[in-house]
Homo-oligomer: A and B are copies of this chain.
Amino acid sequence: MTATPTVELPEPLRLLAPDGTLAEGHVPALADEALLDAWRAMLRSRVCDERCFSLQRQGRLGTFSPVNGEEAAVVGSAWALEPGRDWIVPQYRELPAMLRFGYRLAQAMQYYTGKPAGSRMDAEANVLPFQISLAAQIPHAVGLAWGLRIQGLDAVVMTYFGDGASSEGDAHEALNLAGVRRAPVVFVLKNNGWAISTPVRKQTAAPSFAARAAGYGIAGELVDGNDLFAMHDACARAVARARAGEGPTLIEARTYRMGPHNTSDDPTRYVDPVELDEHRAFDPVERVRRHLTARGLVDETSEEALVAQLRAEVDAAFAEAQDSAPPGVEGIFDHVYARAPTRLDAQRAAAERRAAGQRDAATAREHR
């Protein structure tokens, strides 16, 4: 009758060993062109991280949060969905997933360079914008999934959040509502060990976040988040359940943040270098590389060519973002309301006069 304080938990699902060998008898659903596409997305992410970091150091980019170390968690999950049909609701560290669903790299670069257009979504994109307010997107994901289902679409929504964000009330309220409404959502909780400087053991006493699923009457699974195949496999099953009307799943992707929290962070203040080194052995990109190399699908030469191409892609995107001038006064006022109060229009007119170098005749006028 007494539930013991800590439930004995299974090891995370792992299908691809760190040395690149597949689990006995496992035939990955992620194969052929999709697999290579996923591989490219992982490499693109690395290339983008590197490039953005150096641009930020040169003062040409704003705050940036790298994906570094979490490529398999993000790509494996997102590749279990169907572009054009399903949706991505991100936090801020899941660019590869967003790119697959219609967000463009040049938009990301606009976002990172602080331009409002970086969060404008193309009509055909099935992505919500980056979310700065931690966990606030999780209720949105549930509502989105619910609304799409009401409209007869059998879309699945995948939303991401971190071990830190999992502590917010919004995470709880959303997981619970998803259970009640059997909303077609896959919750990907990327446990990367850190919330800025806060290690996961200070975040929760739970031995696993996946264990929370039972408290909402939903499916839960603990997965090696650095294993592309395991992530894809678990998420594909979750997507199938969601699609079939069997409700949501909480996936805990055990991964590790290999770099700083973001460009303002100095992890040497709090990350034990020995621990960091240990985690390097589980690098998700390296693992897939080993696997693909062993299967003869990639080699050093082809990867070099690919990386060069990805660099060019990233550079082109950055250049495109650079070329788009930041907005003027309209960037402050457009879209705040669809039908703006007259007072806001007056404020806008005043701001336009100022921008045109005209002095305000009477400040009061702008408050109309």
Query: Which residues A1-21 have CB closer than 8 A to chain B?
Result: 1-7, 10-13
**Chain B residues within an 8 Å CB radius of A36:** none
Choose the segment among A65-73, A170-178, A318-326, A358-366 that binds chain B (4+ C-beta atoms closer than 8 Å): A170-178
Q: Judge if A147 is at the interface, Cβ distance under 8 Å.
A: no
**A interface majority secondary structure:** mixed
- Most chain-B Cβ atoms within 10 A of its Cβ — which of A179, A205, A213? A205
Size category of the binding interface on chain A: 35 or more
One of B169, B215, B219, B246 near A206 (C-beta < 8 A): B215
One of B11, B173, B217 near A6 (C-beta < 8 A): B217
Contact check, A2 vs B204: say whether CB atoms are below 8 A apart: no
Complex Cα–Cα for A202 and B181 (A)? 8
Complex Cα–Cα for A147 and B214 (A)? 31
Contact check, A212 vs B210: say whether CB atoms are below 8 A apart: no
**Chain B residues within an 8 Å CB radius of A247:** 5, 205
Contact check, B2 vs A221: say whether CB atoms are below 8 A apart: yes
What is the 8 Å Cβ interface bit string for chain A, positions 186-221, against chain B (1 contact, 0 not)? Answer: 000000000000000011111101111111111111
What is the 8 Å Cβ interface bit string for chain A, positions 53-93, against chain B (1 contact, 0 not)? Answer: 00000000000000000000000000000000000000000
Residue of B nearest to A10 (CB): B1
Contact check, B206 vs A5: say whether CB atoms are below 8 A apart: no
Complex Cα–Cα for A11 and B176 (A)? 22
Q: Judge if A222 is at the interface, Cβ distance under 8 Å.
A: yes
Contact check, B219 vs A5: say whether CB atoms are below 8 A apart: yes
Q: List 26 A-B contacts (CB under 8 A).
A: A1-B12, A1-B222, A2-B221, A2-B234, A3-B219, A3-B220, A3-B221, A5-B213, A5-B246, A6-B217, A167-B172, A167-B176, A168-B173, A176-B206, A179-B204, A179-B206, A180-B203, A180-B204, A182-B205, A205-B217, A205-B218, A205-B247, A206-B214, A207-B217, A209-B215, A211-B215
A interface residues (Cβ-Cβ under 8 A, vs B): 1-7, 10-13, 167-173, 176, 179-180, 182, 202-207, 209-222, 234, 237, 246-247
